[in-house]
DNA sequence: ATGTCC
């Protein structure tokens, strides 16, 4: 740093030793060719306007340290920022205020860079469902969610509607015998997938402990809105899959990482909340710095849970197709509860949290389901950077689970299903189609984010009982 | 979402 003296730092208010060492390191790394005069004027500007630098790739470290020093906070305590972090909201009219407020709170974290709210958004714990958040070198366990790697898999099958109609009875039987939903019991046939041999299961005491549970639950589905269903998909002409724009039988599944991911999420949320202190209302958004051991452990564990969730879908699809003697033509899959290291529009690297959001980079295929009696859409991303390359993960809840239960009777649901030509095996009132927003309206709110490649209509749906 | 506090 040329001949800038420590005394000069003192004279401009950089007195704290931690602050000084960050400044010295930053200067040595990034401001080698600046004059002392320039450096001092930059430091004074950061000192007087720290909030405006919290998103700066280089100067944010100084700004954050300065803010924490100024407020006389310990190194692990943080204040919320007043600066407005960029946010784009899609389908704002249909999104409840509580979800927007949660997103605004998330954007006031000093680690937040950019955010987006998808048209199916509703309030969740910490980050709203349908929330996308870019942060700098930190991961928020509640920004990923409790079901790490909750995801979709669609297999387009080499069969037409005649097969679905002719083998209706067998399909129902297999959807009952070859899937497992809920917490008790498991599949009749022992499952294997190479993910079970993954060495990451030996990386931490927690993962070692969870390995047995992962073995038992491989190939099972969860509860709530999780499903496995057969239906028909009509592909668009000139779709990007390279398949003729015909109608095909298809298998669609929605589930996550079961007990493995839930335990990882619970454990590291606690670690984050113990080690990253925030104002009370923001505490669920506590993060793990990715340079710390806990941050790296979570990152490894989250990725393993994601791979495990994928393996569960792989087993489900392989089991059902094998029993029914069917052949896959094409497979589409995507996580919608996960975090990725990605580049932002300006080239800066960020951690992108998608909590109930579909990755939608240019050309990337994904699946956006409606409900048990409404279409799911096979989409290709448009790479819209305002949405952080994301789209909705479904139609989104219009009613709480309680409201949904209270507003629907068994006979009314039967009528809805019959009108849609859907057979439901298991399922609950909480998942009734009217508890969800209109999927067509949600799709209309994100035409700048994805293009529709195919429309899937469920025919035989398996969900958890109750 | 989750053997819903091993």
The 3-state DSSP class for residue A395 equals coil
pLDDT number for residue A229? 98
Whether A47 contacts A39, CB under 8 Å: no
- In angstroms, the CA of A207 and the C1' of B3 are apart by 17
Q: What is the pLDDT of residue A71?
A: 67
Better-scored residue on pLDDT, A26 or A321: A321
Identify the residue with better confidence: A267 or A402.
A267
pLDDT for res A19: 82
Average pLDDT over residues A429-458: 97
Q: What is the pLDDT of residues A216-263, one digit of tens each?
A: 999 999 999 999 999 999 999 999 999 999 999 999 999 999 999 999
Statement: residue A283 has pLDDT above 70:
yes
Residue appearing with tokens 């569960």:
A312
Average pLDDT, chain A: 93
Closest nucleotide relative to residue A184's CA, C1' based: B3
Name the more confident of A84 and A356. A356
Q: Report CA(A315)–C1'(B1) in Å, whole number.
A: 20
- CA-to-CA distance for A370 and A243, rounded, in angstroms? 23
Q: Name the band, by pLDDT with cuts 50, 70 and 90, for residue A388.
A: very high
For residue A14, what is the DSSP state?
Answer: -
Question: Do residues A360 and A389 lie in contact, with contact meaning Cβ atoms separated by under 8 Å?
Answer: yes
* Position A33 pLDDT exceeds 90: no
Q: Is the domain defined by A151-333+359-465 classed in CATH 3.90.1860.10?
A: yes
Confidence (pLDDT) at A48 = 81
> In angstroms, how far is B3 C1' from A46 CA?
52
Handedness of CA A267, A271, A274, A277 (dihedral sign): negative
User: Considering only CA atoms, which of A165, A189, A120, A77 is closest in space to residue A369?
Assistant: A120
Helix (H) / strand (E) containing A424: strand A423-427
* Element at A205 (helix H, strand E): helix A205-217
* Between residues A55 and A453, the one the model is more confident about: A453
* H or E segment and range at residue A319: helix A293-324
- Is A180 one of the annotated binding-site residues? no
Cβ contact A183 with chain B strand, < 7 A: yes
More confident: A85 or A347: A347
Around Cβ A144, how many Cβ atoms within 10 Å?
A: 30
First to last CA, chain A: 66
C-alpha A250/C-alpha A229 separation (Å) is 8
Instruction: State residue A192's pLDDT score.
Output: 95
- From-to residues of CATH 3.90.1860.10 in chain A: 151-333+359-465
The pLDDT score that the predictor gives to residue A82 is: 79
Catalogue the E-assigned strands of A107-246: 112-122, 129-135, 138-139, 151-157, 227-235
Residues 121-150 of A near strand B (Cβ < 7 Å)?
146-147, 150
Task: Say which DSSP state A81 is in.
Answer: P
Nucleotides of B under 7 A from a protein CB: 1-4
Residues 210-269 of A with CB under 7 A from strand B: 213, 217, 222-226, 255-256, 258-259, 262, 265
* Whether pLDDT at A5 is above 90: no
**Is A268's pLDDT higher than 90?**
yes
pLDDT in tens, A304-360: 999 999 999 999 999 999 999 999 999 999 999 999 999 999 999 999 999 999 999
Span A383-411, average pLDDT? 94
Nearest of A66, A79, A147, A130 to residue A109 by alpha carbon: A79
Inter-residue contact A461 to A172 (CB < 8 Å): no
Question: Residue A1: pLDDT above 50?
Answer: no
User: Is the pLDDT score of A69 beyond 80?
Assistant: no
Please tell me the distance from the alpha carbon of residue A188 to that of residue A379, in angstroms, as a whole number. 35
List phi, psi (to 5°) of A398: -100, -25
Residue A52's pLDDT band (cuts 50, 70, 90): confident
pLDDT of A202 strictly over 60: yes
- Whether CB of A85 is under 7 Å from strand B: the answer is no
Q: What is the model's pLDDT at position A424?
A: 97
CA-based torsion, A112, A334, A232, A239: positive or negative: positive
Does the pTM surpass 0.85? The reply is yes
- Extended beta strands in A348-449, E state: 349-355, 357-359, 365-368, 376-381, 390-392, 423-427
Distance B1 C1' – A345 CA (angstroms)? 32
Nearest C-alpha neighbor of A128 from the set A160, A162, A163, A99? A99
Give the active site residues of A.
Answer: 393
Token readout for A444 is 């209309």
What percent of chain A shows pLDDT beyond 70? 98
Please report which residue ranges of A108-204 form alpha helices under DSSP H: 141-144, 161-166, 168-177
CA A23/CA A2 separation, integer angstroms = 13
Spatial separation of the C-alpha atoms in residues A187 and A228, rounded to whole Å: 14
Q: Which residue has the higher pLDDT, A401 or A311?
A: A311
Strands A288-289, A138-139: pairing kind:
antiparallel
């Amino acid at each position: 740093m040329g001949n800038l003296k420590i005394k000069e730092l003192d004279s401009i208010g950089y007195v704290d030793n931690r602050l000084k060492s960050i400044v010295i390191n930053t200067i040595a790394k990034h401001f080698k060719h600046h004059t002392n005069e320039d450096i001092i004027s930059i430091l004074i500007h950061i000192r007087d306007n720290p909030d405006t630098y919290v998103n700066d790739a280089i100067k944010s470290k100084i700004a954050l340290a300065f803010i924490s020093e100024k407020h006389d906070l310990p190194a692990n305590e943080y204040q919320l920022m007043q600066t407005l972090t960029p946010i784009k909201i899609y389908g704002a009219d249909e999104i409840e205020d509580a979800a927007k407020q949660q997103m605004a709170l998330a954007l006031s974290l000093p680690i937040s860079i950019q955010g987006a709210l998808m048209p199916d958004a509703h309030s969740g714990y910490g980050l709203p469902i349908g929330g996308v958040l870019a942060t700098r070198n930190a991961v928020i366990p509640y920004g990923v969610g409790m079901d790490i790697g909750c995801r979709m898999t669609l297999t387009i099958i080499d069969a037409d509607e005649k097969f679905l109609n002719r083998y209706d009875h067998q399909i129902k039987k297999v959807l009952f015998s070859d899937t497992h939903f809920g917490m008790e019991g498991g599949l009749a046939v022992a499952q294997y997938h190479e993910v079970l041999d993954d060495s990451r299961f030996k990386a931490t005491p927690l993962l070692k402990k969870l390995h047995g549970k992962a073995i038992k639950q491989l190939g099972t589905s969860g509860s709530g809105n999780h499903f496995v269903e057969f239906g028909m998909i009509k592909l668009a002409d000139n779709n990007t899959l390279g398949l003729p724009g015909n109608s095909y039988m298809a298998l669609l599944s929605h589930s996550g990482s079961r007990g493995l991911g839930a335990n990882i999420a619970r454990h590291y949320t606690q670690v984050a909340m113990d080690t990253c202190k925030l104002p009370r209302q923001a505490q669920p958004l506590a993060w793990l710095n990715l340079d710390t051991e806990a941050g790296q452990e979570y990152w490894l564990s989250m990725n393993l849970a994601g791979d495990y969730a994928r393996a569960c879908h792989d087993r489900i699809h392989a089991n059902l197709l094998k029993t029914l003697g069917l052949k896959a033509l094409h497979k589409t899959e995507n996580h919608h509860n996960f975090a990725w290291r990605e580049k932002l529009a300006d080239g800066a690297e960020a951690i992108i949290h998608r909590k109930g959001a579909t990755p939608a980079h240019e050309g990337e295929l994904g699946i956006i389901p409606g409900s048990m009696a409404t279409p799911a859409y096979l989409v290709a991303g448009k790479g819209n950077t305002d949405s952080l390359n994301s789209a909705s993960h479904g139609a989104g809840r219009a009613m709480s689970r309680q409201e949904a239960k209270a507003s629907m009777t068994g006979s009314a649901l039967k009528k809805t299903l019959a009108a849609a030509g859907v057979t439901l095996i298991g399922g609950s009132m909480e998942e009734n189609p009217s508890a969800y927003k209109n999927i067509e309206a949600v799709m209309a709110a994100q035409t700048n984010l994805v293009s529709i490649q195919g429309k899937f209509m469920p025919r035989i749906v398996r969900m958890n009982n109750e």
